[in-house]
Chain A
Amino acid sequence: MLYVKELYKSYEAGKNKYQVLKGIDFHVAKGEFVAVMGPSGSGKTTLLNCISCYIPFDRGNIRLGGMELAGMNEEALARVRNTKIGFVFQDFMLLDGLNIRENILVPRIVQGEVGAEAQRLADQLAAMFGIGHILEKYPAEISGGEKQRAAVARSLINNPLIILADEPTGNLDSKSGRAVIETFNNAKEQMNATIFMVTHDSFAASFCDRVILLKDGTIYRQLEKEESRSGFQDQLLDVLKEMSR
């Protein structure tokens, strides 16, 4: 589904050049729920931004559903972002002027006119994630957890190849955070969605099938969930402790 090969990315700040990603290699299979963890500055968000095509990368390959993202023009990248990728952001990024149903439909609206069928799909997704009762409300009128579930619904409206989530629980309390992670789980189980999530939260990561641990721009280790969720979380915490030494 998603192949990342020898990915390099650097930033320049004044006269200094910082190499943030130093040859990242991994792949995510269809229907897999993968998290990326690592200390601050390890390159998690940069990796996600490169896969999202938000920022250009220096070198390497990113293939999504058989398509090579490097070298695509702006128009084609926009199309990929719209039809092949679903996005969930830490700060929800819902449009304040639209109600929740319209927000869920935005990726469809930018494709052209949205009719009754798409609206039915939006309603179904909302119902599936427990936000069916707030479809007519505006973002300012609902809680953070509800906003994030609406964002997950939005990310699925175009039936994308993959959902990219950047710290989706970062702005939420633990209860709302858990609800959002369960929403991802629902999407994975009921729609066979592929999810790639950057997180700091070992609890959220413990729901994933696999966790990629980044350190200083390289993959430190990849852990597969082979036991219970809590056992996996303990394992993650141990590795994170080891990484910080």
Chain B
Amino acid sequence: MTQPDFSGVLEASFIRSRDLDAPLGDRLQAFADDVRRLAPGFMAAIDALVGRLQESDAGAAAPKVGDLMPAFLLPDDQGRLVKLQDLLKAGPLAIAFHRGHWCPYCRINIEALARAEEKVAGEHRHIAAVVPDRRKFAIWLKSEAKAPFPVLTDIDNGYAMSLGLAIYVGDEVKSLMTDSGWDPAKSQGTDDWLLPIPATFIIGTDGIVHSRFVDPDYRTRMEIEDLLAALASAT
């Protein structure tokens, strides 16, 4: 059984993992290890969900290297409408889907991306994040990481779904998450319990996918070194 304020108990673990002087993968793993130690039942349910998603090839239909990245028009954290073409005018782009401001893995990931953006921004290469959260929560996620890039709101996971990246968490994980204090319904403004697979795409200025990372296991993300290398070689 998970404790009622499990998400609160994990806050210290989140901060320790986020602030580790280590590659992103190790920081995410450190956090996952703590969850597994503190709540093996919760982690077993997540393993089952991830196993089912991997078995059914969830995310397999997402744009592949060489495909044209489908256009989008999404509101950003300032309330402006942002088009993919506009972002590409400034140079090659890494676009990273995130599950929400409540997700510790996303918070660790966004922090790492924020530091990466600081490195590449002078080279006309950019990063943008997409969340199903409404603006208020997108702002929260962005401020916590002091992210210098836009955080776009994908209402109802509409864009993620059009890419084949929207998944339903299922009843078991839904009730475990609610009990633990994670409730995406509030920040998404809809009770549908769909979440995006936190995929990352590197897109060239011609709109073509140059590189991608798609894993239905939300505990793993595109490594920052890989992302930077892909961005550097994209044109």
Genuine A/B complex: no
